[in-house]
Structure 1
Amino acid sequence: MLPRLFIAFTLIPLLELYILIKLGSAMGVLNTLALVVLTGFAGAYLAKRQGMQTMMRIRSQMQAGNMPAEDLIDAAIIFMAGIVLLTPGILTDITGLLLLFPVTRFYFKRWARKKIDAWMRQPNVTIRRYPPGP
């Protein structure tokens, strides 16, 4: 877990900074800044739109008495895409947009579904009790 956190909070921002500096020297600072801001706004708009569509599908499936498992996974991925898109940077914007588009989201959803299924098959249940505080 610690190596993943190290990568997430140290190496990814350093890589983003490196990409932004290289892009800024190639395209210019204002163009790079405009690109980051525009992809952020476009991604936020798409995430909101896709999220609302998914929530409507979830609602209609639940009203019909069906379990919307696939749409719940879609909603979680769209939520993660929105969070990633709010992080400034080219690499995170590309990742967020890939999570948003249904064609590419399918692959992320398939991966998440495998992880969830493996987690559900584990017979381990841990119940912890903590004494009440002072």
Structure 2
Amino acid sequence: MRFIGFIIFFVYVYFEISFFIVVANSIGVFLSLVCIIATSILGFSLVKTQGVKNFSIMKQKIANNQNPKDEIIKSVALLFSGFLLLIPGFLTDILGAVLLIPNVQEHIVRFLVRKMPIKSRFVSSQTFDQNNDIIEGEFKHKDDE
């Protein structure tokens, strides 16, 4: 059971290197390296812009006293996508770019929300209705001896 992680890692590395060799043979090694760096930079900027947009939607939902569960799951998908785009390699860049597509994110959100066993209720502290009940009492401050 311990070795499954190692096996998956080595299979991933094998496919990543094989795919890089295929691309490098067709367009050249230097251009392949430039493409990997460019996709990482482009993907990181896309993750940043989508993350800012998702954060503003989340703030609006919180201000309207709505549940931001979907946006939180999208943020996790964006974080995972950014991590995949940061790892050098064509396969991880392709998978990270696929996770940036909004329709794919919507399907992931629907799938995960359906699988969540917990029903949540969201109450914002900004619009919390406080009662004006006053509780009076007395206290003594005791020093630790």
What's the CA shift for 1:112?
Answer: 2.8
What's the CA shift for 1:59?
Answer: 1.2
CA distance in 2, matches of 1:3, 1:109: 31
**What whole-Å deviation, never above 9, does each CA across 1:109-130 have from its counterpart, x for those lacking one?**
3333344x25x49xxxxxxxxx
User: Would you say 1:67 and 2:67 are equivalent positions?
Assistant: yes
Equivalent residue number for residue 131 of structure 1: none
Equivalent residue number for residue 11 of structure 1: 11
RMSD, matched Cα: 2.0
User: Would you say 1:107 and 2:107 are equivalent positions?
Assistant: yes
**Aligned positions, number:** 119
Equivalent residue number for residue 94 of structure 1: 94
CA distance in 2, matches of 1:51, 1:4: 33
The one-letter code of the counterpart of 1:39 is T
In the superposition, the TM-score normalised over structure 1's length comes to 0.79
Secondary structure at the counterpart of residue 66 of structure 1:
coil
What's the CA shift for 1:13?
Answer: 1.8
What's the CA shift for 1:6?
Answer: 3.1
Q: Going by fraction, where is helix more abundant, 1 or 2?
A: 1
In the superposition, the TM-score normalised over structure 2's length comes to 0.73
Identity score, percent = 27
Instruction: Check the 8 A contact 1:99/1:108 in 2, yes or no.
Output: no
Judged with a 3 Å threshold, the aligned counterparts in structure 2 of structure 1 residues 71 and 3 are, in CA distance, closer, same or farther, namely farther
Give the alignment of 1:1-134 within 5 angstroms: 2=2, 5-115=5-115, 117-118=116-117, 120=118
CA distance in 2, matches of 1:112, 1:98: 17
**Unmatched runs of 5 consecutive residues or more in structure 2:** 120-145
What's the CA shift for 1:25?
Answer: 1.1
Instruction: Check the 8 A contact 1:40/1:86 in 2, yes or no.
Output: yes
The one-letter code of the counterpart of 2:9 is F
What's the CA shift for 1:108?
Answer: 2.6
Structure 1's consecutive aligned runs of 4 or more residues displaced over 6 angstroms after TM superposition are: none
**Unmatched runs of 5 consecutive residues or more in structure 1:** 122-134
